[in-house]
């Protein structure tokens, strides 16, 4: 992409996309090289997700990733991106204590990584933090439904908001986040009929993951979409390529060539 070929995605253009019914595409990114490929492919939003804790660091949950680590990932992504909006997860433990800590963490992300927005898990319980971050001029994306930072409270990664009371609370939380000024909301692993209600009730774009098709856009973890992860197989995941298989084949061929002294050949040396 040359400089003139692209127009940067902004929080405002996302709202316009919702208004004209144009679906929004979002994927995770954690490093420079992948972010460059994803951005050049034309994605609208790149999320530097705390799922880096799982797919990049091999942890079982998203809880261990630190603020310093997410800033490292985010600054690598920002260097590879020309067009997409870069959103960064506030990691577990960097915003839950109080709104002052939340604001300081969000400011560090924006200042040290050059990203464009932050994402936070939760509804009314983090209202004060959201307001303070927004008042500092930092765009905030909400995240409701299955919120992996609370996995030990939920006990399982199963579908959320199946019961009426939880669904009602989720819709109320989504309306609150919209009223506060969040530029978008991620809905994770909830019944499609609840996502549809949320999407039609608020003006901010709703991005779903395992939340059906009646939303304003979709997000997946890139490593899942390209088949770099193999053990994570939820119903909502569509694998577009099996990079695990392709890479394994390539690496096995390289090993074979090294062992057989087929690599490097005459043209591959000085
Ligand atoms: O961390 C992440 O990758 C996310 C997406 C699943 C939305 O929050």
Higher pLDDT, 164 or 5: 164
pLDDT in tens, 230-247: 999 999 999 999 999 999
pLDDT in tens, 68-88: 999 999 999 999 999 999 999
Q: Which of 256, 234, 233 is nearest to 244 (CA)?
A: 233
pLDDT, residue 2, reads 53
**C-alpha of 229 from chain center:** 16
Residue 263 has pLDDT above 90, yes or no: yes
Confirm or reject: Cβ of 44 under 6 Å from ligand 1.
Answer: no
Sign, CA dihedral 9-181-101-119, equals negative
Confirm or reject: Cβ of 210 under 6 Å from ligand 1.
Answer: no
pLDDT, residue 39, reads 98
Confirm or reject: Cβ of 186 under 6 Å from ligand 1.
Answer: yes
What is the fold of 11-239? TIM Barrel (3.20.20)
Centroid of ligand 1 to alpha carbon of 39 (angstroms): 17
pLDDT-based confidence at 6, cuts 50/70/90?
A: confident
135 sits in which H/E element: helix 127-135
pLDDT in tens, 129-171: 999 999 999 999 999 999 999 999 999 999 999 999 999 999 9
SS3 (DSSP) at 120? strand
12 vs 32: CA distance, rounded Å: 25
pLDDT, residue 37, reads 98
Q: Out of 50, 70, 224, give the residue to mutate to test ligand 1, the one with the largest number of ligand atoms within 8 Å of its CB.
A: 50
Region(s) of the chain under CATH 3.20.20.60: 11-239
pLDDT, residue 4, reads 53
DSSP string for residues in 44-109:
SEEEE-TTHHHHTT--SSSTT--HHHHHHHHHHHHHH-SSSEEEEEPPTTSSSS-HHHHHHHHHHH
Residue 3 has pLDDT above 90, yes or no: no
Confirm or reject: Cβ of 204 under 6 Å from ligand 1.
Answer: no
Q: What is the percent of the chain with per-residue pLDDT over 70, rounded to a whole number?
A: 98
19 vs 166: CA distance, rounded Å: 28
The mean predicted confidence, pLDDT, of the chain is 97
Residue 5 has pLDDT above 70, yes or no: no
Q: Which of 174, 236, 228, 231 is nearest to 202 (CA)?
A: 174
Confirm or reject: Cβ of 35 under 6 Å from ligand 1.
Answer: no
CA-nearest residue, atom 2 of ligand 1 = 49
The catalytic residue among 16, 188, 231, 268 is 188
Centroid of ligand 1 to alpha carbon of 46 (angstroms): 10
Please give the number of the atom of ligand 1 that sits closest to the Cα of 221. Answer: 3
Q: What is the percent of the chain with per-residue pLDDT over 90, rounded to a whole number?
A: 98
Q: Which of 94, 90, 82 is nearest to 139 (CA)?
A: 90
Residue 1 has pLDDT above 60, yes or no: no
pLDDT, residue 143, reads 98
Q: Answer whether 0.95 is exceeded by the pTM.
A: yes
CA-nearest residue, atom 4 of ligand 1 = 49
Mean pLDDT across 99-122: 98
Sign, CA dihedral 119-226-243-227, equals positive
Task: Please say if 188 is a catalytic residue.
Answer: yes
Please give the number of the atom of ligand 1 that sits closest to the Cα of 49. Answer: 1
Q: Which of 162, 163, 165, 160 is nearest to 143 (CA)?
A: 160
Mean pLDDT across 14-29: 98
Residue 180 has pLDDT above 60, yes or no: yes
183 vs 48: CA distance, rounded Å: 17
Confirm or reject: Cβ of 89 under 6 Å from ligand 1.
Answer: yes
Centroid of ligand 1 to alpha carbon of 269 (angstroms): 44
How far is CA 89 from each of CA 9, 92, 131, 164, 267, rounded to the nearest angstrom? 18, 9, 17, 29, 46
Sign, CA dihedral 101-103-105-108, equals negative
């Amino acid at each position: 992409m040359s400089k003139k070929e692209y127009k940067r995605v902004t929080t405002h253009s996302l709202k316009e996309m919702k208004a004209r019914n144009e679906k929004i595409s979002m994927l995770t990114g954690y490093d420079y090289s992948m972010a460059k490929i994803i951005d050049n492919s034309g994605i609208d939003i790149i999320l530097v997700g705390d799922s880096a804790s799982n797919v990049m660091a091999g942890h079982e949950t998203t809880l261990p990733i630190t603020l310093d680590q997410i800033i490292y990932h985010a600054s690598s992504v920002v260097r590879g991106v020309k067009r997409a909006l870069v959103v960064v997860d506030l990691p577990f433990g960097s915003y839950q204590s109080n709104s002052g800590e939340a604001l300081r963490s969000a400011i560090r992300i924006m200042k040290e990584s050059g990203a464009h927005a932050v994402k936070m898990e939760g509804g009314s319980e983090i209202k004060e933090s959201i307001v303070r971050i927004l008042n500092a001029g930092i765009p905030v994306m909400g995240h409701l439904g299955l919120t992996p930072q609370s996995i030990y409270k939920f006990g399982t990664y199963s579908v959320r908001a199946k019961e009426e009371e939880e669904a009602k609370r989720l819709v109320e939380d989504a309306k609150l986040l919209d009223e506060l000024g969040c530029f978008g909301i991620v809905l994770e692993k909830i019944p499609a009929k609840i996502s549809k209600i949320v999407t039609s009730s608020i003006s901010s774009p709703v991005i779903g993951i395992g939340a059906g098709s009646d939303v304003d856009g979709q997000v997946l973890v890139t490593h899942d979409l390209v088949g770099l992860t193999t053990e994570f197989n939820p119903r909502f995941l569509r694998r577009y390529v099996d990079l695990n298989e392709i890479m394994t084949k390539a690496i096995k061929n390289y090993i074979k060539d090294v062992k057989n002294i087929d690599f490097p050949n005459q043209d591959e040396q000085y």
